[in-house]
Structure 1
Amino acid sequence: MSLKYAPKYRVFLFLIFCIIKACDVLFIAYMIKLMLNLASSGSKDVTELIKLATIAGIGQLFFTCSNFFYEHLKMTIIKNVNLVLKNANLNYLVAQAKNDTKSGLSLMTNDLKQIETGRVTAQLDMCYQSILFIGAISFAFINSWQMTVIFIVASIAPALVQILTSRLITRKAKVWANANADYTQHVSDSLNGAEAAKLYNVQPTIISRAVNSAQRMEEALRSMNFTQAWALEVIYTVAELFCFIIPCTIGGVLMMHGQLKVGTLVLMVDLAMNFITPVVTIFQEFNQVKSTDPMWKKTLRALNYSKNPHEKAIDQRDDFIDLKIDNLAYKTNKTNTEIFKDVNFSVTPGKKTLLMAPSGWGKTTLLKLMMGSKSPSKGQILINDQNLTNDWSKLHNYFSYVNQKPFMFDDTLRFNITLGRKVSDQKLRQVIHEAGLDELVKEKGLDSPIGENGNQLSGGQIQRVEIARALLSHRPILLADEATSALDPHLSLEIHETLLKNPNIAVIEVAHKISPAEKAMFDQIIHLNQTPTD
């Protein structure tokens, strides 16, 4: 149940105010009974009638004030649960680090909103409706057990209708969830590919692709909502027939034979609406909850996810002695094709190593093996003579990473360097200087926004921000994956001077093309197997 992710004391208070809100219904029904029985008794005591009306009015004011607290608690619990779900899903998605923006965006926007309205809110309403049902049926039983039994038996009919329709609604919800994910991805593609579409004059086809997915999504949503709507209509029709018309007919017969007073009959009808309507509403809310099952399964995966308890950051004071790559080989999981084999080299603190191989050799894969995010088919990765092969939790903390196209957050320059970490001004100034960002910081300021994907920065500036991130992490080995291949020769040389003249870090760069001047800066150059792969 989603409500377990809200503070327990708030849920407890909410249930208290649910009880008070339910008492509002019982109080009004009881006061109507007293007033009608008095009016039909032949009494001419208007003062007593006014007194009862006054009590009813004062009581209604009290319950109205109480309902403000009920609504406040309800909205607060929804907010609390939403924040827990968003936090859990973000933690999970970031931890997985998969390039699946389609499902990720859909989950964090549309799916979580559907969970809010179709699950969290529905379950809160079900709590109130359940309490109202228990209160109304108990009070009705006290007043007329015969009529209560009749109404209870009659309420079985809408329950049967709900059972028949819930599975169909769940199937419709799955179709909508998939269509919605496709729509989200196509909109994202359209926005990100707008420049290419404009260049090749294909805007209509790109837009048509997104609009077609929108049509499929809207049709799936219409189908799901229509199914829920007609199911509710059938439930209400059955409820009106079996829960009102038939019982009221029986009640009329009892009243004709003097076995039931008019006030009691009206009270029973009013209470019946408040223990039969809750049943119908609970069925409706149950269907809403079922419609969110596909989204909730995704969220449960995130809620049940926990980080590896052994995963911790390597402290900057930990000594790094050496890295040894011993007879490393890799085969693809899908085709079992051998990408490379017999890779051997070692790196010591501050040593600058260049690994050269043709495009397609598997250089990026080699770096991922070193960080523990992929498993080798053969060989070992040793740090300080400890075998850490395929141990991401320990391996990745020894490495920082600079690639060809670093990701920039749509935030300030400060955030993109620190990634939100708290660092001293002195340390921040130091890495800014070492990364060659002094001029940029002086020109723009640390708190200036750099735009989506860093569109306010040049390619060289983006690479320097990535280097600053790496230096700030104070990890002993920096991996560079074709880091300067997209830059002009002058900028490439400047970036290499920044990286390779820093004595505090070891550098392992993979490249397929590099200038003689840049090669001269490395301590060792290793030419990997020149045999091209698939």
Structure 2
Amino acid sequence: MIIKYSHPWKIALYVFFAFLKSLQVVFAAFIFQKFIDFAQKPQGSLIKLTVFAVCGLLIFGIVGVIYQYFYYKIIEEINLNLKSASANYLVNNYAGHNEIDSSFMTNDLKQIETNSIEAELSIISDLIQFLAAVVSAFVSSWIIALVFLIASFTPAVIQSVFGPKIEKNSEKWEKSNSNYTNTVIETHSGAEMANIYDVQFSMVNRLIKAAKLMETALFKTNWTKGMSNEMTMIVAYIFSMFLPFAIGISFIVSGRLTLGTFMMIAQLANNFINPVVGIFGSVNDIKTAKPILQKIKKIDLLIKPQGSKTATASDTFQSLQLTDAGVSLGKQKIFANVNLKIDSGEKFSCKPHQVGENQLY
């Protein structure tokens, strides 16, 4: 989505600032190590170390603000492009195809923003953060870093179990949501007719039934996704935190690793776990949006052959000039000997006048 509907330079800048932002975790872990080492064996100045830490975090704060700007700017651009394509399709209705409706324009496009665009941007950010943490940890101690790294991929097992079910439930919810929106519109437009024929009860029941089907489908989708995320988190903590911690402490006891270095790797390991969990959560979100994405693909296929014309100055009305113009309807003259020039934004009116037996304007 982001490659197809956003400018490459914006994506490149987003990736660049996402990389700089990911170094904030590395910097914080490094400072954390220095504080622990200073507590165990004071060397240098604690004040200088503190000032260095604060200044560094302020710089990363500025980087984070710029990162957020490009994050939301890309979302804005993609949303506008999607709405433009959808509006083009909706107005022209390409050969009677009915891929979108009011539900798509109001609800589905918002789902695309949350469950597809934001999810793809989050995957990029999480992946960069994951790589930055892994490289830094391996530089400190490759053995402990390798233990944390292997353990961090255990959530993939949970994803493989729940992924297909999430996708199936989301398809049912999308259909139910579309049906509910159409039922609301039909109920609103038919309310007066229902009062005339005394069928209010039936129309209300029909709307309630559609709402129940939609909410039930939404519950199943959200519950399956929530259960997957919770199970992923539990497995991640067991295999990516507790077991590696046990191994790391044994290294400290045996003198093969300092406490400061281990705590630095442990802190970086959070960015093994959290980005991986975040990536799998974003993948779940994208699976939820898959039925809507299929509609967008169909719309693109229908619009592309027609071509999309960009409005230019020549497409906009500038002026109209008539010289000795006349219009006849059968033998009756409607206009005769008309000379005028109308510029954009002007208004004019004509009064009838008699010429012989004909009334001209």
Category of TM-score, reference length = shorter chain: 0.7 to 0.9
Cα 1:200–1:73 shift into 2, 3 Å: same
Q: Distance in 2 between matches of 1:281 and 1:426?
A: 57
**Alignment correspondent of 2:267:** 270
Identity %: 32
Q: What count of residue pairs does the alignment treat as equivalent? A: 323
Q: Deviation at 1:253?
A: 0.6
Whole-Å separation in 2 of the counterparts to 1:56 and 1:204: 68
User: 2:152 aligned with 1:155, yes or no?
Assistant: yes
**2:235 matches 1:238:** yes
Q: Does 1:178 pair with 2:175? A: yes
The answer on 1:49 being equivalent to 2:49 is no
Equivalent residue, structure 2, for 1:37 = 37
Q: 1:423 to 1:85 in 2, by over 3 A?
A: closer
Q: Which of 201, 204, 207 in structure 2 is aligned with 1:207?
A: 204
Q: Counterpart amino acid of 1:54? A: V
2:94–2:303 contact (8 Å) kept in structure 1? no
Structure 2 alignment gaps of length 5 or more: 332-361
1:99 Cα deviation (Å)?
A: 7.0
Query: Following superposition of structure 1 onto structure 2, how do residues 180-329 of structure 1 map, counting pairs within 5 Å?
Result: 180-306=177-303, 308=305
Cα contact 2:33–2:264 (8 A) shared by 1: yes
Give the deviation of 1:156 after TM superposition.
2.6
Partner-residue secondary structure (3-state), 1:305: helix
Equivalent residue, structure 2, for 1:2: 2
Residue 523 of structure 1 corresponds to none
Report the structure, 1 or 2, having the larger helix content: 2
Within 2, Cα distance between the matches of 1:226 and 1:182? Answer: 21
Contact 2:158 2:231 in 1 (8 A): yes
Cα offsets for 1:416-439 (capped at 9, x unmatched):
xxxxx977597699xxxx9xxxxx
Letter in 2 for 1:24: Q
Instruction: Note if 1:71 corresponds to 2:55.
Output: no
Contact in 2 for aligned 1:82/1:116 (Cα 8 Å): yes
- TM-score normalised by structure 1 residue count: 0.57
Quote how far apart the aligned CAs of 1:165 are.
1.0
3-state SS of paired residue (1:258) = coil
Question: Could you list the per-position Cα deviations for residues 234-259 of structure 1 after superposition, in whole angstroms to 9, with x for gaps in the alignment?
Answer: 00000000000000001011100011
User: Could you say if the C-alpha distance between residues 428 and 301 of structure 1 is closer, same or farther in structure 2, counting changes exceeding 3 Å?
Assistant: farther
Aligned amino acid, residue 49 of structure 1 = L
What is the one-letter code of the residue matched to 1:63?
A: F
Query: What stretches of structure 1 of length at least 5 have no aligned partner?
Result: 313-420, 435-500, 505-534
For residues 254 and 301 of structure 1, the distance between their equivalents in structure 2, rounded to whole angstroms, comes to 57
Residue 136 (str. 1) matches residue 126 (str. 2): no
Report if the CA contact (8 A) 1:101-1:185 is conserved.
no
Deviations 1:76-100 (A, max 9, x none): 1001011111112222333335778
Q: 2:27 aligns to what?
A: 27
Give the match for residue 62 of structure 1.
59
Aligned-partner SS, 1:304 = helix
Cα pair 1:140 1:268 within 8 Å, conserved:
yes
CA distance in 2, matches of 1:47, 1:219: 63
Bigger Cα Rg:
1
Q: Deviations over 1:152-190 (max 9, x none)?
A: 221231111111111110001001001001101101101
Structure 1 window deviating more from structure 2 (86-95 vs 69-78): it is: 86-95
| 2-structure distance, mates of 1:124, 1:284 | 13
**Alignment-mate amino acid for residue 127 of structure 2:** S
Identify the residue that residue 86 of structure 2 maps to in structure 1: 89
8 Å Cα contact 1:133/1:278 also seen in 2: yes
**1:218: Cα distance to partner?**
1.1
Match of 1:166 in 2: 163
Separation in 2, partners of 1:100, 1:309: 14
Alpha-carbon spacing, 1:196–1:254, altered in 2? closer, same or farther (3 Å): same
Q: Is the 8 Å Cα contact of residues 137 and 268 (structure 2) preserved in structure 1?
A: yes
Q: More deviation in 129-138 or 8-17?
A: 8-17
Quick one: distance in 2 between partners of 1:112 and 1:72?
21
Inter-partner Cα distance in structure 2 for 1:151 and 1:271: 10
Which of structures 1 and 2 has the larger relative contact order (alpha carbons within 8 angstroms, sep 6+)? 2
Does 2:114 align with 1:117? Answer: yes
Aligned twin of 1:471: none
Indicate how the Cα distance of structure 1 residues 206 and 140 shifts in structure 2: closer, same or farther if over 3 A, else same.
Answer: same
Instruction: Give 1:128's aligned amino acid.
Output: S
- Superposed CA RMSD in Å reads 2.6
